[in-house]
Copies of this chain bind each other. A is one copy, B any other.
Amino acid sequence: MSKPKDERKLELISTACIRIVLTEGFNGLRMADVAKEAGIATGTLYIYYSDKQSLVIDVFKRTKKELADALFAFTPAPAGNDFFGIFKSWWYNYIQFAINHPDRILFTDQFLYSGFIPAEVILETDLLFQPLDAFLVNAREAGLILPLDTEIIKAQLMAPIHTLIKAAGKNIEVIDQRTIDGVFWMAWQSIQPQK
């Protein structure tokens, strides 16, 4: 009910939740299992979260935040209007995080349309990517990329990354640098304006 204190425990719960969804699918997510995986009692879960939905929503938000943080983690000093430089940095930031934490990608994708996450929460987490939106709008207005809705542009940039991660499955380490560079090239090519 009140704000929980123990951030370390929240971390454990979140990790446990993600791990189970990854293993069993979100249909196999049981509160008792989350507790056991987190090394706490079932009842303790309810000290931190009032119900299952609020737990899932919070883990979803946390994970989206991680994704956004990772995306913007490293940004080169903007030497002039260096669109390509920033684009590349962010894109590689993101795919790197995705490769290191495929579970995060899978988790958010699986829950997005599960019926667990209310539309307002989705809107809220989308705001975390605001800087990217702004960046793309600017680029579009400067004629640097195709004159399409930024949502579509983002889909074009991110969806292949997600699918790549999903397709790799257990063999995530198989994704080599050549592949990554290839996917980047596709992303970059795809948004170039028509001459």
Contacts and interface: CB of A to CB of B under 8 A. Distances in A.
Given A159-B160, A189-B189, A182 B115 contact: no
Contacts of A163: 152, 155, 158-159
B155 A164 contact: yes
Contacts of A156: 160, 183, 186, 190
Given A155-B160, A159-B163, A149 B116 contact: no
Nearest to A191: B186
Interface stretch (A25-33, A57-65, A74-82, A88-96): A25-33
Interface residues of A, number: 40
A162 interface: yes
A68 interface: no
Contacts of A106: 113
Interface of A: 24-28, 106, 109-110, 112-116, 146-149, 151-152, 155-156, 158-160, 162-164, 166-167, 179, 182-183, 185-187, 189-192, 194
5 contacts: A25-B115, A26-B115, A110-B114, A113-B166, A146-B185
